[in-house]
C-alpha cells in the first residue's frame, strides 16, 4: 500500500468533533483550502482506525434554492460520514478533522524521509531519556512511545478534532499493562501540552481491553474499542462505558462467505440479513434502548447499499469511491428514492432483547458469547498490530542513533 506523506499533513481516526472557529481558521491557513461543514476523518493506516466527528452535515454545498442536493448531503444528515483513505491527496475534497497515530503510520513516515512528520520521529530517536536506557527492549519501546506522541502532537495542531493513539496490541490480554501504556502515553502528551480532551486511546476489545476501558473511562480518559466482531463484545464495551465502539462490517461478511459454524452469523443469515450490518444494528439498538453513552462506528463499509442500511449510526467509515459517488449523485425533492434513517432511538425502543443478552457481561460470559468468527478475526487483528509494532521497533534499532546523536 502506498503512502503520500509528502503532501499536506494529516492522518487517521475517531471523535469530538465540531470544529471550533479558531481551529477551522487554522486549517484554512495551514492546508490552503476552506474547511467546510463536512468534517471527515483521514486514515493513514492500512485499516480503518480513525476516529469520528460530531457534526453530521456535508460541506459539499448544494443548490438549496433550486431544491437540488447530493446523496452525500442527504446521508450526512443521518450519520457522520468518515472518509477511509491512506493518502493526503484528498484533503481538498475531504478536509480532515480528526486523526489516528499508529504503528502503521510510523512505518510510512520512516519510509519517507522528507515527510513533514519525520522530524517528530527524529526527535524521538534523539530523546535523552530513551538514550539513557541500557536495556535495548526498554530503549526502543521508549523511542516508539515518544514517536507516537510526537506525531500525535503534530496532528493535534492540524486537526480540530481528537487524535486517537494506538495502544500496543502485545499487551491486549493484560489489563494493567494496557492501563500503564495509556498512562505513559498520556503523560507524554501532557509534556507537549496536548490536553486529555483532545485524545482517544485505541484498545483491542479483548476482555482485558474492555476492563481497561472501564477503568480508564472512570478516570476521565477516553477510549476507543476496536476489533469488535460479536454482540457480546459490543454489549460488554457499552457496559464498560467505552467512548467509541468500532465494528468492521465487511470483515464479518468476508468471514461468512468462507466459513461456517458461527451461531451469531448463522442466525443473521437465516433471517436473510448480512451479518456485519445485523451486528451494527443490534449493537446500536442495545446502546440506545438501555441508555449507554458509547458512540458506535461502522467500519469496512464496502458500498452505497451498506451505507444506506446503516443510516442513523453515529459514524460510518466509507471508501472514497463511495463518497465520490454520493457526492456526484444529485437528488431532487420528488425523487422516488427517499433516504430513511434505519437506526434510531425509536427503532431501538422496539427491539426485543433476550434476558441472556441484557445480563451483566463478565469474562466468562464474553468468552462463551464470542463465536469462531469473532475469535479468529480478533486474533488476526491483534497479530497484525503486534507485527507492525515489532517492525517499527526493529527499524528504530537499525537507524539508532541518528547522525546528530
What CATH number is associated with residue 251?
3.20.20.70
E-only strand ranges, 176-269: 199-204, 223-228, 244-248
What is the Cα–Cα distance from 274 to 250, expressed in whole angstroms?
9
The predicted pLDDT at position 84 comes to 73
- Choosing from 139, 181, 202, 342, the catalytic residue is 202
**Residue 292 forms part of a structural domain:** yes
The predicted pLDDT at position 404 comes to 58
What is the Cα–Cα distance from 49 to 334, expressed in whole angstroms?
38
**Whose grid coordinates read 510510512?**
108
**Residue 179 forms part of a structural domain:** yes
**Residue 350 forms part of a structural domain:** yes
Dihedral angle, C-alpha 322, 327, 332, 333, nearest 10 °: 80
DSSP tally for the chain: helices H, then strands E? 17, 10
**Residue 14 forms part of a structural domain:** no
The predicted pLDDT at position 51 comes to 41
- Per-10-residue mean pLDDT of the chain, 405 residues long, equals 35 37 35 28 36 33 50 86 60 65 89 83 92 89 96 89 92 98 98 96 98 98 97 98 96 96 97 97 97 95 92 89 86 62 92 95 97 98 96 89 61
Measuring CA to CA, which residue among 104, 16, 53 is closest to residue 316? 53
Strand 315-319 vs strand 80-84: parallel, antiparallel, or unpaired? parallel
The predicted pLDDT at position 402 comes to 65
**What is the domain range of residue 102?**
71-399
- Based on C-alpha coordinates, what's the Rg of the chain? 21
Find out whether 212 and 182 touch, Cβ atoms under 8 Å: yes
Find out whether 51 and 198 touch, Cβ atoms under 8 Å: no
**Residue 59 forms part of a structural domain:** no
The predicted pLDDT at position 314 comes to 92
Q: Count of domains in the chain? A: 1
Maximum Cα–Cα distance across the chain: 71
The predicted pLDDT at position 12 comes to 38
**202 an active-site residue?**
yes
The predicted pLDDT at position 334 comes to 57
Residue 394 CB neighbours (<10 A): 10
Phi, psi of 2 (to 5 degrees): -90, 150
Phi, psi of 201 (to 5 degrees): -115, 125
Find out whether 310 and 342 touch, Cβ atoms under 8 Å: yes
**Residue 20 forms part of a structural domain:** no
pTM over 0.85? The answer is no
The predicted pLDDT at position 317 comes to 85
Residue 21 CB neighbours (<10 A): 8
What is the Cα–Cα distance from 149 to 191, expressed in whole angstroms?
10
Amino acid at each position: 500500500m502506498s503512502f503520500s506523506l509528502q503532501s499536506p499533513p494529516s492522518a487517521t481516526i475517531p471523535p469530538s468533533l465540531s470544529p471550533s472557529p479558531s481551529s477551522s481558521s487554522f486549517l484554512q491557513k495551514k492546508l490552503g483550502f476552506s474547511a467546510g461543514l463536512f468534517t471527515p476523518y483521514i486514515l493513514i493506516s492500512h485499516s480503518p482506525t480513525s476516529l469520528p466527528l460530531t457534526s453530521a452535515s456535508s460541506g459539499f454545498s448544494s443548490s438549496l434554492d433550486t431544491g437540488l442536493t447530493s446523496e452525500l448531503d442527504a446521508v450526512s444528515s443521518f450519520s457522520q460520514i468518515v472518509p477511509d483513505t491512506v493518502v493526503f491527496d484528498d484533503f481538498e475534497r475531504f478536509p480532515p478533522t480528526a486523526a489516528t497515530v499508529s504503528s502503521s503510520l510510523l512505518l510510512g513516515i520512516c519510509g519517507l524521509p522528507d515527510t513533514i512528520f519525520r522530524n517528530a520521529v527524529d526527535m524521538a530517536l534523539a530523546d535523552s531519556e530513551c538514550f539513557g536506557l541500557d536495556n535495548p527492549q526498554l530503549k526502543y519501546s521508549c523511542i516508539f512511545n515518544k514517536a507516537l506522541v510526537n506525531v500525535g502532537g503534530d496532528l493535534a495542531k492540524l486537526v480540530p478534532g481528537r487524535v486517537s493513539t494506538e495502544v500496543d496490541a502485545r499487551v491486549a490480554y493484560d489489563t494493567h499493562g494496557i492501563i500503564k501504556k495509556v498512562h505513559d502515553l498520556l503523560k507524554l502528551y501532557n509534556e507537549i501540552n496536548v490536553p486529555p480532551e483532545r485524545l482517544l486511546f485505541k484498545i483491542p476489545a479483548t476482555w482485558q481491553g474492555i476492563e481497561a476501558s472501564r477503568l480508564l473511562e472512570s478516570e476521565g480518559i477516553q477510549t476507543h474499542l476496536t476489533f469488535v466482531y460479536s454482540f457480546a463484545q459490543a454489549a460488554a464495551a457499552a457496559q464498560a462505558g467505552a467512548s467509541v465502539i468500532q465494528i468492521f462490517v465487511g470483515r464479518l461478511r468476508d468471514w461468512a462467505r468462507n466459513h461456517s459454524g458461527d451461531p451469531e452469523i448463522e442466525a443473521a443469515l437465516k433471517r436473510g440479513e448480512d451479518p456485519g450490518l445485523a451486528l451494527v444494528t443490534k449493537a446500536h439498538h442495545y446502546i440506545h434502548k438501555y441508555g449507554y453513552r458509547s458512540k458506535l462506528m461502522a467500519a469496512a463499509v464496502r458500498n452505497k447499499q451498506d451505507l444506506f442500511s446503516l443510516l442513523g449510526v453515529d459514524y460510518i467509515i466509507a471508501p472514497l469511491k463511495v463518497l465520490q459517488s454520493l457526492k456526484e449523485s444529485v437528488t431532487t425533492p420528488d425523487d422516488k428514492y427517499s433516504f430513511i434513517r434505519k437506526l434510531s432511538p425509536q427503532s431501538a425502543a422496539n427491539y426485543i432483547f433476550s434476558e441472556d443478552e441484557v445480563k451483566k457481561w463478565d469474562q466468562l460470559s464474553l468468552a462463551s458469547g464470542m463465536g469462531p468468527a469473532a475469535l479468529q478475526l480478533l486474533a488476526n487483528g491483534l497479530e497484525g498490530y503486534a507485527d507492525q509494532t515489532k517492525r517499527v521497533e526493529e527499524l528504530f534499532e537499525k537507524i539508532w542513533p541518528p547522525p546528530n546523536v
